[in-house]
Amino acid sequence: MTVDNFDFGVQGSIKFKNGISIKLGQNTGKEKEEIMREQIRQTIRIHFAKKKKLEEQKIKVLSLFFIDKVDNYVKEDGIIRQIFIQEFETIKKEFGFDLSDVNKVHSGYFAKKNDEYLEREKSIAENQEAYELIMKDKERLLSFDEPTEFIFSHSALREGWDNPNVFNICTLNATTSITKKRQEIGRGMRICVNQDGERVFSKQVNLLSIIANENYVDYVSRLQGEFIEDGIYKAPPAPENAKKSYKVILKPNFDQDENFKNLWEKISKKTRYIVSVDTPKLIEECTKRIGKEINLQKPRIKTERVGLDIAKQGIETIIIGDDSREFTDSVRNFDIVEIIKNETKLTRGTVASIILGVSDLKSFFNNPEKFAFESIRIINDELNKNLIEQINYELLPEKYDLKYFVNEHGYKDSIQKVDHSIYDAIIFDSDIEKNFAINLDQDEKVKLFLKLPAWFKIPTPIGDYNPDWAIVTIKRDLEGKETEKLYFVIETKGNLNNMRPSEKMKIDSAKKHFDAISVNYKEISSYSQFLGLIQN
């Protein structure tokens, strides 16, 4: 059986770096409504195309909608009901069908108790009318004499359903539903029946169309995973993993080493930061960047048609075609100031000053949601910069506690044995860290070093920061005599000019923390740079 999957541009799980979180499969406001409209429109078109083709073979076509909320359909002004009626009335004319009463062709079947529809996955037996038609009188549902062709249901319908002739399934419900994809498409994977009650086995007839609200790649991946989980397909063999766990040993009496004691005395002091906001500068910078960086066209919904061949060896995909169209009526009851205020924690007045300061708001009118998202990203970025420019650290009486130093565990291929540390080895995250540890261990001027543990964190306005290294070195005169000991905290980066903005802001904050406790702190990209610090 072949499945047609339509992708309407909704991706998987996203957490925006601009501070906005969207759950898997979740859309917001107008975008969600437009995507549902496109799904319903495509389902009706496909339904009518199959209806026109299969009526000659005396086969009735049914389409099944899984919806997100019952009220979106059962209420007269429910958004799904309204969209269906609007699109049905438009599209039926294109296909020349004489279907005068739209209310007779669609029905909803939901669990019902005390005259209230239930938002839960439960047998439809509680709705007697639905139970009678779907579970007991399947022949009537499949008859041309019964006008119902479009069925709307919550995921409850999955229980006990065994009706043929569902040629189209539209999933308007959230993709995070616990309903498995196999269970959803299983509602349509029945050999169809004609008006004489005879099964029609033609592969050209028994084609199921899935109008999905997720990317087809994700859809296929989830479906394939369920087949593997249920033992229908075999999972690919797990690679032979050469990684083996390695225990990194903390040296006994490490805290009695004079070099460590002196180093720890210097770097273990805790601080807290104090920040203020330069509001006029923030407004100026945000307005400037929003006007320069945000250039939006009207949003488009992309529809992709993909054939899925479900065979014994797995699921094969064939891209059939794609199309796209513009959103309509983008700006409607959209309080951009309130949305940005909630996501940035700025006052309405400050947010309004930023937005009203943008000379050209065409991008907002083209795509208000995207404009809000991008504005939040820029404002949060500028706010963080502003805070860090104004940040100061003050000493606290507390210190980092030695009791948190314990044996550690890493993988053998990320371990470098060393002699001049409080551990017998270093767990490195990159080649630059590995090479840096080797150089430190071989340098006779280095008396002690350690990779700072994950619990050693410096607070910053944009999250805690964990520096890389703490090092004790000596300085010698021209005769080779030791003149002084130097104490450093070092951050190693492969490319100092290619750091993420958030990473750089954390490092800028850390500089002020270490200034407050009088410790030399530097970020470097090579060991030669570190040697330069010692010599200077």
Give 411-433 pLDDT, tens digit per residue: 888 999 999 999 999 999 999 99
Summarize the confidence of residues 488-510 as an average pLDDT: 90
Label residue 2 by pLDDT band (50, 70, 90). very low
DSSP class of 50: H
Q: What is the pLDDT of residue 354?
A: 96
When divided into structural domains, the chain yields a total of: 2
Residue 13 has pLDDT above 80, yes or no: no
Pair (137, 251) in one structural domain: no
Give CA 355 to chain center in angstroms: 27
Give 360-416 pLDDT, tens digit per residue: 999 998 888 889 999 999 999 999 999 999 999 999 999 999 999 999 998 888 999
CATH number at residue 144: 3.40.50
CATH number at residue 425: 3.40.1350
Q: What is the pLDDT of residue 34?
A: 84
Residue 5 has pLDDT above 90, yes or no: no
Quick check: is 368 in a domain? no
Residue with tokens 């007839």: 205
Quick check: is 421 in a domain? yes
Quick check: is 378 in a domain? no
Quick check: is 220 in a domain? no
Task: Kindly give, in sequence order, each residue whose CB lies less than 8 Å from that of residue 68, ignoring residues fewer than 6 positions away.
Answer: 172, 173, 174
Is the CB of residue 455 less than 8 Å from the CB of residue 449?
Answer: no
Residue 149 has pLDDT above 50, yes or no: yes
Q: What is the pLDDT of residue 312?
A: 56
Quick check: is 467 in a domain? yes
Label residue 186 by pLDDT band (50, 70, 90). low
Q: What is the pLDDT of residue 505?
A: 93
Q: What is the pLDDT of residue 494?
A: 83
Pair (519, 479) in one structural domain: yes
Pair (105, 250) in one structural domain: no
Pair (177, 250) in one structural domain: no
**Among 213, 232, 266, where does a domain finish?**
213
Report the sign of the C-alpha dihedral through residues 317, 25, 66, 86, in that order: negative
Residue 15 has pLDDT above 50, yes or no: no
Q: What is the pLDDT of residue 225?
A: 63
Strand (E) or helix (H) holding 302: strand 300-311
Pair (174, 65) in one structural domain: yes
Pair (173, 70) in one structural domain: yes
Tell me the pTM.
0.59
Residue 20 has pLDDT above 50, yes or no: no
What is the rounded distance in angstroms from the CA atom of residue 145 to the CA atom of residue 49? 20
Give 473-486 pLDDT, tens digit per residue: 998 887 778 888 99
Pair (140, 251) in one structural domain: no
Write out the residue range of the structural domain in which residue 183 sits. 26-213
Quick check: is 218 in a domain? no
Give the residue among 503, 484, 480, 502 at the shortest CA–CA distance from 492: 503
